[in-house]
Amino acid sequence: MRTSILAALWLVLRRDLLLAFRRPGHIVQPLAFFAVVAMLFPLGFTPELARLRDIAPGVLWVAALLSSLLALEFLFRDDAQDGTLEQFVLSGQSLTALLFARTLSHWLLTGLPLALMAPLLGVALGVPLAAMPGILGALALGTVSLSLIGAIGAGLTLGVRRGGVLLSLLTLPLAVPVLVFGARATELAIQGGAMAGPMYLLAALAVFGLTLAPLAAAAAVRIGLE
């Protein structure tokens, strides 16, 4: 009997989470990089919290963007090497939906932990405690878009040997709007201003990505497997 699409999505998501917790280095590496980059600014720029608070939005978002890129190279690569992607294509299920489940697992293992960690690093950059919910919400929305954009880049570089640099070059320009609106939302959260404008734009980017990115990633993966 053919497995329903929801059951297939759950099986893919469950498999990815189990494999990730067996290889905790893939989870810890982006978080450690995020923390190290953010902590270098008080050492290399200035220890004055007032000045660090002014650059905190840019620091947090650039560090989060670079950290998310570290895990993107493994998004489809291991599955391509062990034949899992071919099984996805031959399974009779929607490849778009199955790759969406892979992208969701990437966000749960990378994007969401980065968003949860950002307020803690914000404290070291002089960010007031009242701004923490806004920072958490902005990073949570923004990392959804980053994972979806990264899925497209990972699909396009699937057949490229050592495609990490090319993946970064493809992903970074597409991530610029997320970076701009996310940093603006974080800045307003720190200043105590109204965050509705940039948060709506981040949400719109996430919805746009949810609509198109899985389709584009599936098309790129099919090309890469040929």
Which of 222, 225, 77, 202 lies closest to 146, judged by CA? 202
Confidence of residue 1 (pLDDT cuts 50, 70, 90): very low
Residue-wise pLDDT tens digits, 56-113: 899 999 999 999 888 787 788 777 777 888 888 887 788 888 899 989 998 999 999 9
User: What pLDDT score does 143 carry?
Assistant: 94
Say if residue 225's pLDDT is above 80.
Answer: no
The answer to whether the Cα torsion of 212, 213, 216, 222 is positive or negative is: negative
Residues 6+ apart with CB under 8 A from 96: 214, 215, 217, 218
Q: H/E element holding 100?
A: helix 95-106
Q: Does the pLDDT at position 204 exceed 50?
A: yes
**Domain edges within the chain:** 5-225
175-193 pLDDT, tens digit each: 999 999 999 999 999 988 8
Can you give the pTM of this predicted structure?
0.88
